[in-house]
Amino acid sequence: MYWKNARMRQLDNELGDIHSAIADLESAIIRDVEAKLLKMKHEIIMSSITVAELDCLISFATSAAHFNLVRPTIVEEKVINIKNGRHPLQALCVDLFVPNSTAMGAMKQENCAMIHAITGANFSGKSCYIKQVALIVFMAHIGSFVPADSAVIGKVDRIFTRINSRESCTVPLSTFMIDLQQISFMLENCTPKSLLVIDEFGKGTSSTDGVSLLGATIRHLLARGQQCPRTLLATHFFEMFEIPDFLPHSDQNLKCFHLSLHEDDQGQKDVASEESAHLNSLASDIVYLRTVVPGIAKKSYGYHCAMRAGIPLEIVERAVRVAEHIKGGTPIDSLQSNSMVFLSNDSKSFQN
């Protein structure tokens, strides 16, 4: 119930409900504006598209000027020829970015195969490199200048990726199953003009299953011959390139590269066993050169990455011991404090 005095009843009679009247008038004005704008719908949409294109072109031009980008050449041939390419984002986040060149496809020069397999140590820049090539190809196709000294890009109809899958509660699939679905989709839908980017496929299951699936995938692509799409893959499965007949190494469509590094072994050359070599190598300084060079990496330096991440040295040493016993098929020694190996800061060598 509402209490009103004589003055309030007088205002009701003279003015009525002002709030409702104002709201009704606002709605009427808005509907009138909408009706007038709808008559110019086509002009408004075309103006918005034009302004958006202009904004995009200005952004392209500004980026090209500020970040030293170059105009790519788009050709019909299946080719990716990039000289001193850079990752467009990563290069802005570090003090020094090492550029790398790429020669892939139908070009009369060395290392121009359709499939490039990239190996290297952990943290050496493999993923950054293959993403860099894909981003340069993408930027060239949308009309942007690219981060390189020069670039000749053959037309690409689609880019498929298998990169960094993550589990999600919204998808009832494991990480490895998501990876498999991505590989399945790209193999079923890629064409000779596609670009495939495969990063660490096979690591979500046992090493035997993973390397076998990756090797079979590479063989399947190589079997397409001239119809093989351009493919960049990064992997830690070094054994895939060492086992005889695992891959057709004589196939000219497959070339192997690795990210170079420098290991300062501090003069520790004489070692009694492979285990000692691993333990001695933990004292070495690793310098990542970030340069893509022909060849296959020998190891991943996972123990060095563990130490970089702050894993205690005794844990890393124990891991080295266990790994070598597993490889050699020998019994693993029990974990005892007096049998552990520690690094001597004075002599920079490992002693019992």
Judgement on whether residues 152 and 274 belong to the same structural domain of the protein: yes
What does DSSP assign to residue 294? E
Residue 319 lies in a domain: no
Residue of 227, 199, 229 lying closest to 214 (CA atoms): 199
Q: What is the DSSP string of 304-336?
A: HHHHHTT--HHHHHHHHHHHHHHHHTPPPPP--
Residue 334 lies in a domain: no
Please write the tens of the pLDDT for every residue from 113-157. 899 999 998 888 999 999 999 999 999 999 999 999 999 999 999
Q: What number is the average pLDDT over the span 256-278? A: 65
Q: Which domain holds residue 27?
A: 16-66
Judgement on whether residues 138 and 227 belong to the same structural domain of the protein: yes
SS3 26: helix
Residue 317 lies in a domain: no
Residue 82 lies in a domain: yes
- Indicate the range of 24-38, 96-110, 132-146, 300-314 predicted with least confidence: 96-110
User: Residues 6 or more apart from 11 whose CB is under 8 A from it?
Assistant: none
Is the pLDDT at 8 greater than 60, yes or no?
A: yes
Is the pLDDT at 104 greater than 60, yes or no?
A: yes
pLDDT at 334: 64
Cβ atoms 351, 344 nearer than 8 A = yes
- Indicate the range of 16-30, 144-158, 175-189 predicted with least confidence: 16-30
Residue 143 lies in a domain: yes
Tokens encoding 351: 């002693």
